């Protein structure tokens, strides 16, 4: 008996946190799994040394850029997201926080399950698989934020981050310390600060070193550089998945599957589903809620550039600590490694305001207050060493809608666009507390506060955590998927990625996406009831590390 090499039990579109977790658990249960990823597969040596190496860091195939990081500029949001085998884990900042209770009790998914209690064991398992450990190093940025915490009476609300990093002896390679030696070798973190340009050391616990690693060992197939163009119902049951090569002009291909998981993230899943919703032979019965309730973590990204000689903020992992400023807001110090000063080209003075003229005037006033600081700040030889990015997030909601449309940004081709009904309810580029915290940090470092030019000139907020758009709901009138991530109206279709997040977690969402995938896959039966699932390597006891903040 021969196996049809074009038919699978499950096809997974995307290899990020939702896709990799699903691939591992399904292959573990005996299913034949295919993972399709439009980006490349990367080894440690393939990552750029700095983000000036645009060909290896930035993603824009039309310009010959085949890296791990993509920026998408939209009318109401600038989205920063990841590409490649392992998805956002290649470029994210490693942090693995659990949201507070309010997240589990709000949004379109509230009432569909006792989410906080039901997800608790899955959070624990996801943290185990991802190798979560407390950051053991206190950096200069942490000490400055500690001072700010004391100034505002919140010092007891600051703590180290839990991160997906191997903290062994710096630079020393050891046999897998997480899965009883069954996983890949790991190298101790050198605290070089380059987590977000791709870990060239081998310390970052990216998905290709855990979930995806074991999925492939269990027989799952991963096809990189393959973009999915359509998913349509198959005559007789299941689905046809049409693909094309990401690079080159070769003819596309197609595979079939009993079930399909959309796991390409908001910026991959939504345009594909929206195209299929418009296609009479595609998925026209998709919920009218598709594209609604798109949200971010309501964050602000403000860079403090301190030109003083000898300044170096690059030492440490990407994010080393968290300060909770109140019950729904927190601040994190973020860094890039030495030499990664690309964002110098996109920066302007941080100048909150409701109008373009007001923001320009605010930027001019900021420059006039400290002209020498600004001149020195924008001419420092190594921007990364002199910059501490402050990431401010809050759980308060701000939503918009995504649809297919045309615009000058896309050359008037149909692409993903944003819409808002009430601008006051949409995500904002400026938040008073974020500005206050940034100004405090700037004064302590004799520095200046800067943001992306799109914020200063256009008032468009930026996010590294785009979420929602295929949210949960009890019926097709309420949401795109049900509480088990099954697409309403289409048996065998699932959405398991950031677009399924149905409320604002207010924290870095990667752990939550992995946790939801763990739960969703726990509800899928083993393929052959008479055969036990493939055993997973047991977790080795990782050394517990503490850091005094």
Judge contact between 528 and 29, C-beta under 8 A.
no
Q: 323 CB contacts (<8 Å, ≥6 apart)?
A: 145, 148, 149, 154, 157, 158, 330, 331, 332
Question: Which tokens go with 448?
Answer: 């200046």
Q: 280 CB contacts (<8 Å, ≥6 apart)?
A: none
Selection from 198, 193, 151 nearest residue 41 by Cα: 198
Q: How far is CA 15 from the centre of its chain?
A: 12
Q: How far is CA 36 from the centre of its chain?
A: 18
Q: Which residue intervals of 343-386 are DSSP H helices?
A: 356-369, 371-377
Q: Pick the catalytic residue from 76, 81, 330, 465.
A: 465
The vertex-505 CA angle with 108 and 199, nearest 5°, equals 135
Judge contact between 318 and 331, C-beta under 8 A.
no
Q: What is the DSSP string of 25-72?
A: HHHHTT--EEEE-SS----GGGS-SSTT-HHHHBEEGGGTEESSEEEE
In degrees and rounded to multiples of 5, residue 122 shows phi and psi of: -75, -35
Q: 443 CB contacts (<8 Å, ≥6 apart)?
A: none
Length of the chain (residues):
549
C-alpha 519/C-alpha 528 separation (Å) is: 20
* 166 is a catalytic site residue: no
Query: In the chain, how long is the greatest CA-to-CA distance?
Result: 78
Selection from 189, 201, 210 nearest residue 45 by Cα: 201
Judge contact between 37 and 85, C-beta under 8 A.
yes
C-alpha 122/C-alpha 521 separation (Å) is: 11
Judge contact between 472 and 502, C-beta under 8 A.
yes
Q: What is the dihedral of CA 401, 405, 408, 412, to 10 degrees?
A: 170
Which active-site residues does the annotation give? 465
């Amino acid at each position: 008996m021969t196996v049809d090499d074009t038919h699978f039990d499950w096809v997974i579109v995307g290899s990020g946190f939702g896709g990799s977790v699903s691939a591992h658990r399904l292959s573990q249960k005996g299913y034949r799994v295919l993972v399709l990823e439009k980006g490349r597969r990367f080894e440690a040596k393939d990552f750029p040394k700095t983000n000036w190496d645009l060909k290896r860091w930035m993603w824009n195939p039309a310009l010959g850029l085949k890296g791990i990081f993509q920026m998408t500029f939209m009318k109401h949001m600038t989205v920063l997201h990841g590409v490649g085998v392992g998805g956002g884990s290649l470029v994210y900042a490693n942090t693995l926080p659990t949201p507070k209770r309010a997240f589990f009790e709000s949004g379109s998914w509230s009432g569909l399950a006792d989410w906080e209690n039901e997800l608790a064991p899955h959070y624990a398992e996801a943290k185990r698989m991802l190798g979560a450990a407390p950051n053991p190093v206190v950096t200069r940025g942490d000490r400055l934020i500690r001072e700010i915490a004391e100034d505002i009476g919140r010092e007891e609300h600051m703590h180290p981050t839990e991160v997906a990093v191997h903290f062994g002896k710096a630079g020393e390679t050891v046999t897998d310390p997480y899965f009883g030696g069954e996983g890949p070798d790991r190298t101790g973190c050198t605290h070089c600060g380059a987590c977000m340009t791709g870990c060239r050391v081998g310390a970052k616990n990216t998905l290709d070193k855990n979930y995806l690693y074991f999925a492939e060992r269990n027989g799952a197939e991963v096809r990189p550089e393959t973009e999915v163009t359509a998913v349509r119902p198959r005559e007789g049951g299941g689905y046809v998945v049409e693909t094309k090569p990401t690079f080159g002009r070769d003819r596309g291909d197609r595979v079939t599957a009993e079930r399909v998981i959309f796991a390409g993230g908001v910026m991959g899943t939504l345009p594909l589903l929206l195209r299929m919703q418009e296609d009479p032979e595609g998925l026209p019965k998709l919920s009218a809620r598709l594209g609604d309730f798109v949200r971010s973590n309501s964050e602000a990204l403000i860079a403090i550039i301190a030109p003083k000689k000898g300044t170096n903020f690059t030492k440490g992992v990407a994010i080393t600590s968290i300060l909770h400023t109140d019950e729904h807001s927190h601040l994190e110090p973020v860094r890039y490694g030495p030499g990664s000063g690309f964002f110098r080209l996109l920066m302007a003075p941080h100048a909150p305001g409701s109008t373009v003229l007001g923001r320009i005037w605010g930027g001019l006033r900021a420059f006039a207050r400290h002209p020498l600081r600004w001149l020195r700040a924008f001419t420092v030889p190594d921007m990364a060493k002199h910059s501490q990015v402050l990431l401010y997030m809050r759980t308060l909601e701000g939503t918009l809608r995504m649809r297919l449309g045309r615009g000058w940004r896309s050359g008037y081709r149909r692409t993903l666009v944003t819409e808002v009904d009430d601008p006051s309810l949409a995500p904002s580029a400026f938040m008073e507390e974020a500005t206050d915290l940034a100004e405090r940090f700037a004064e302590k470092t004799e520095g200046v506060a800067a943001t992306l030019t799109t914020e200063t000139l256009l008032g468009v907020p930026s996010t590294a955590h785009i979420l929602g758009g295929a949210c949960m709901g009890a019926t097709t009138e309420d949401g795109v998927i049900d509480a088990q991530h099954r697409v309403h109206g289409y048996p065998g279709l699932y959405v398991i990625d950031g677009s399924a997040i149905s409320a604002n977690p207010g924290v870095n969402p990667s752990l939550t996406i992995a946790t939801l995938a763990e739960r969703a896959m726990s509800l899928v039966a083993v393929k052959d009831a008479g055969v036990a699932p493939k055993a997973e390597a047991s977790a080795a006891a990782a050394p517990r590390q503490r850091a005094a903040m």
